[in-house]
């Protein structure tokens, strides 16, 4: 059975490839706006919308995910709209901890079954001076990532520790996903 990754994220594709999976990419074009304040429910609802919008010919295993960053004060940070938005997000997580939630949905079209989960990690960020924030938001890195940063990129030098799955923070909790995929493929 073929595996379909429903994401245009190069990071998700890289993680899945690194884990030894062969897959095709099929991206659904869905409205990611949902009316939900609970971070876990919100991210799961978005991932489900993405997965259910993918149409494939024949039997397949469809994998979709969504990631959000949540401050300790429960402010949900998606992808920044512009430089000012990115700066505001970095200031909110500066010298503090936050949580990264990644929801994934796996649909087995052959057996008409759906599996889903939300994985959470706690991320600690050191203090960044104003000039460090400015320097960072002037890179291209923050603009297509939840919370305006990439743990595996330039911003990684500001992350002092994580509690949880590193790959979850990158956007695809491969260990949890592998537990399901190994039963289906």
For residue 33, give Cα distances in angstroms to 112, 135, 173, 174: 26, 30, 23, 25
Distance CA 115, CA 104 (A): 8
Distance CA 147, CA 18 (A): 24
The candidate with the shortest Cα–Cα distance to 109, out of 182, 51, 47, 50, is 51
Q: Give the residue numbers annotated as catalytic, written as ranges.
A: 66
Distance CA 125, CA 169 (A): 13
For residue 83, give Cα distances in angstroms to 122, 127, 131, 132, 145: 25, 20, 14, 14, 13
Distance CA 50, CA 161 (A): 31
Helix axes 10-18, 174-184, angle to 10 degrees: 60
Distance CA 40, CA 180 (A): 20
């Amino acid at each position: 059975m073929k595996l379909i990754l429903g994401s245009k994220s190069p990071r998700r594709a890289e993680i899945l490839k690194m884990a030894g999976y062969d897959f095709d990419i099929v991206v659904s074009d869905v409205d990611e706006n949902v009316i939900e304040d609970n971070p876990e429910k919100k991210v799961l609802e978005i991932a489900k919308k993405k997965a259910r919008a993918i149409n494939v010919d024949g039997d397949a295993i469809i994998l979709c995910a969504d990631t959000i960053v949540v401050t300790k004060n429960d402010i949900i940070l998606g992808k920044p709209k512009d430089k000012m938005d990115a700066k505001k997000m970095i200031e909110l997580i500066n010298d503090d901890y936050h949580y990264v939630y990644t929801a994934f949905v796996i649909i087995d079209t052959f057996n008409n079954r759906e599996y889903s989960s939300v994985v959470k990690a706690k991320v600690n960020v050191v203090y960044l001076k104003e000039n460090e924030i400015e320097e960072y938001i002037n890179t291209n890195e923050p603009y297509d990532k939840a919370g305006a940063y990439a743990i595996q990129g330039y911003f990684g030098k500001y992350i002092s520790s994580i509690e949880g799955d590193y790959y979850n923070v990158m956007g695809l909790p491969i260990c949890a996903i592998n537990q399901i995929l190994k039963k289906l493929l």
